[in-house]
Structures are given as C-alpha cells and as structure tokens.
Amino acid sequence: MGKKNMKDKIKIPRCDGISDEEFRESILPKREPVIITGLDIGLCKSLWTVDYLSNKIGDKQVKVHVSKDKQMDFIKKNFIYKTISFRSLIKRASEREHEEFFLDKNEVYYLRALGDDPRGRDVSDFKKHYSGISDDIIFPAYFEPSQYFSSVFRIGSSGCQLWTHYDIMDNMLIQVKGRKRVVLFNPQDTQNLYLNGDKSEIIDIDNPDYEKFPKFKNVMFYEGFLEPGDVIFIPALWMHNVISLDFGIAVNVFWKNLDNSFYNQKDPYGNRDLVPAEKALQSLETALKSLKELPKDYSDFYHRRILSRVERSLNEL
Ligand SMILES: O=C(O)CCC(=O)C(=O)O
Ligand SMILES: [Fe+2]
C-alpha cells in the first residue's frame, strides 16, 4: 500500500540581504518562513567564543534544561532544570563528554534565557539581561520598535532537539554560532500534529509512530538549515522543531504582529494564546466537561455534532 515513508518536504527559501522595504512588502504579508542570509548581525559572529562569553558574563546564574535524551520532551518531561553559572553552561554545552554532570556524562544542555524574576514571570530582554554583551548583536530592523516584545538568548549542546511547538508572535531567530536544522509546519497542518497545548505530542518527527499518529503522514515538512549568521523568519503560529547540529548560540526576537489588545498581558514567553482564542479554548473545555455527564453513546453523538459545527464555521472563513 502507498504508505508514505518519505516525507513531503519543501525547502525553506534562502534570500540574500533583504531590505526593510522588501521584507515589509513581499515577505511579511505572505506569512511564510524565509531564511535571510548576509545580514549584518554585528560582531557576535566572531566575538562569541566560549572564553569571551565566560569572561564577560561567566558569573551570571542561569536556569537550564539538562537531559540524558537528546530529544527533549516537554510533555513527558525527560529533562530536569538546574541553575548553574553561565560559565559552566557554555563549557558543558560545548563539550561532548563532561567531567562534571548531573545525570550522565553525555547529557545535553539547553538554555532558553528568562528574565531576572526568580519565578520566571519576567519577559526576557537580551539587551537588558545580558547588557555586558548587548552591543555585540544587531537585531534586524524589519519591524517597528513598538512591535517589539522580547528577545531570548538560546544556547544548546550539539545534537539536542527542541520539541515541536508554536509561538504566537512573529519571530526572527538569529543563528550566531553553530548550524541548526529547522523543520516548520504550516498552521493549516495543525490538526495533523497532535497538539497538547502549544506543543506536539510527536517527539521523533523523523521516525514517528504512525500507529499512534496516523494523520502525521499528511504533514508537509518545511525544512531549512541555518548557518552561523543566518536569520530565519518564523511567522506566528508556524510550529517549529529545531535540532542543533553543533554547539549552538542564538538569539531570537519576538514581535507583535497584531494590535496590543490581542495579547495576554501576563505572558512572559510569547506563547500564551491570543485573548479571544484563549477564551474560546476555555469555553470548549467547559463544553467537553459537560458532555462527560452523558452516557457514552450520547456523548459520542454530541462530540460529532460539535465537530461538524466547527467544520462549518471553518469552511465559512
Ligand atoms: O533555535 C532554538 O533553539 C529554538 C528556537 C525557537 O523555538 C524560537 O526561537 O521560538
Ligand atoms: Fe519557538
């Protein structure tokens, strides 16, 4: 039978040195991912070595993900959080085997920088929280300053793979050091991705369990490879899965694409659903809970009625 083993793949286009006007006029309105090459991202590309960063910000304490398994799984939580100095993070993330470790001598590390608030409620702002190296990097100026939301320092061991998820803001991911493979999924494939909140249940996207996730066969992979200095535009709602092919350093910048009022004011990460969407999802949870009161055959019937109502509404868009 025509079981698809080879994924349909679309190569994410690579465009050289896009001007601000070109981005606003021909890339942003399409809402599709693009890798932009040849941008001036500043001196970080040459300056950011392990030694340089250790000297500048080595004493800063950072909370990192530590995992034995390179494929990190947020839903099953196969990693732990540890707070260590930035110096030990980059030392350990840049080496394959560790003398000092928490779980295993080959464990991997991933930093997604947070703000300074110990409860993690602070919005991450690279230039503020890493002021010692803030002048080393130039953020692309494609968006208006008023659209700025947050900027996040991201550092990962070679081989570590970040779970598939979506963010609700437009994103410019600046790859500073190391190569990365990025797989993106079109928001129209959402029903095939087995979401649990903002994350997909499918961890191994290259060898998925099709018995468990049959609809994943229909999914289109948008694949791209980032080289140091490349910047990828990830439009809001595009799911992404990232594998670090080397020890990697990146900074990403989240930008608001919609009016301020759509965004939840208590969202430090840029992944809380838009206010009307969150309201809709909460009402749906209430509806589903209510159906639990019914006998199974009735509940089945009303689940299907709700599905067809949603389908009708979707077709009317
Ligand atoms: O490159 C990474 O480490 C993850 C990127 C990501 O999820 C993001 O920028 O939103
Ligand atoms: Fe993300």
Query: Does residue 192 form part of some domain?
Result: yes
How many whole angstroms separate alpha carbon 68 and alpha carbon 160? Answer: 10
Segment 26-68, tens digit of pLDDT: 999 999 999 999 999 999 999 999 999 999 999 999 999 999 9
Pocket of ligand 1 (CB under 6 A): 154, 156, 162, 167, 171, 173, 180, 240, 242, 250, 252
257 assigned to some structural domain: yes
DSSP classification of residue 122 = S
CA distance to 57, 143, 149, 263, 278, per residue, from 258 (Å): 35, 12, 12, 8, 16
Type of residue numbered 257: N
Give me the pLDDT at residue 114, please: 87
Average pLDDT across the chain, whole number: 94
Residues 134-145: tens digit of each pLDDT: 999 999 999 999
Provide the CATH number for the domain around residue 195. 2.60.120.650
Residue 5 lies in a domain: no
Ligand number, closest to the Cα atom of 156: 1
Report the helix count and the strand count for the chain, using DSSP H and E. 7, 16
* 268 belongs to a structural domain: no
Give a yes or no: residue 88 inside a domain. yes
Listed residue (284, 231, 234, 244) closest to 72, CA to CA: 244
37 and 135 inside one domain: yes
- Ligand 1 closest atom vs CA 165: 7
Q: Which residues contact 270 (CB under 8 A, 6 or more apart)?
A: 149, 150, 167, 168, 169, 254
SS3 annotation, 180-204: EEEEEECHHHHHHCCEECCEECCCC
Distances (CA, A) of 259 to 147, 264, 282: 9, 11, 22
219 shares a domain with 82: yes
- Find the 1 Cα to ligand 2 centroid distance in Å: 36
Residues 174 and 80 in one domain: yes
Task: Report the alpha-carbon distance of residue 284 to residue 299 in Å, rounded.
Answer: 14
Other CB atoms closer than 10 Å to residue 276's CB: what's the count? 10
Longest pairwise C-alpha distance within the chain: 66
Q: Which atom of ligand 1 is nearest to the CA of 152?
A: 9
Q: Are residues 280 and 251 in the same domain?
A: no
Tell how far the Cα of 240 is from the centroid of ligand 2, in angstroms.
Answer: 6
Tell how far the Cα of 166 is from the centroid of ligand 2, in angstroms. Answer: 6
Atom number, ligand 1, closest to the C-alpha of residue 175: 1
CA of 208 to the centre of ligand 2 (A): 21
Give the range among 67-81, 116-130, 229-243, 274-288 with minimum mean pLDDT: 116-130
Domain shared by 76 and 193, yes or no: yes
Which helix (H) or strand (E) segment holds residue 128: the answer is helix 126-129
| 281 in a structural domain | yes
Q: Are residues 297 and 173 in the same domain?
A: no
> Which residue CA neighbors atom 2 of ligand 1 most closely?
242
Q: Which atom of ligand 1 is nearest to the CA of 112?
A: 3
Q: What is the pTM of this model?
A: 0.94
Give the number of other Cβ atoms within 10 Å of residue 187's Cβ: 14
**Residue 270 placed within a domain:** no
- Shared domain for 246 and 282, answered yes or no, is no
* CA–CA–CA angle 273, 279, 280 (5° rounding): 95
Residue-wise pLDDT for 62-88, tens only, equals: 999 999 999 998 888 899 999 999 999
Claim to verify: residue 252 and residue 300 sit in the same structural domain = no
Percent of the chain at pLDDT > 70 equals: 97
* Å from CA of 7 to ligand 1 middle: 22
Q: Which amino acid is at 149?
A: F
Domains: count for the chain: 2
Same domain as 288, residue 252: no
Write down the pLDDT at residue 120. Answer: 66
Beta-carbon-side half-sphere exposure of residue 215 (alpha carbons within 13 Å): 11
281 shares a domain with 155: no
Q: Which residues span the domain enclosing 285?
A: 275-315
Kindly state whether residues 16 and 120 are assigned to the same domain: yes
What does 100-165 look like in DSSP terms, one character per residue? S-SS-TT-EEEEE---S-TTS-SPPBHHHHTGGGGGG------S-GGGEEEEEEEEE-TT-EEEEE
Buried b (16+ CB within 10 A) or exposed e, 200-229: bbbbebeebeeeebeebeebebbebbbebb
Residues 202 and 285 occupy one common structural domain: no
pLDDT at 1 over 50: no
202 is a domain residue:
yes
Residue 303 DSSP one-character state = H
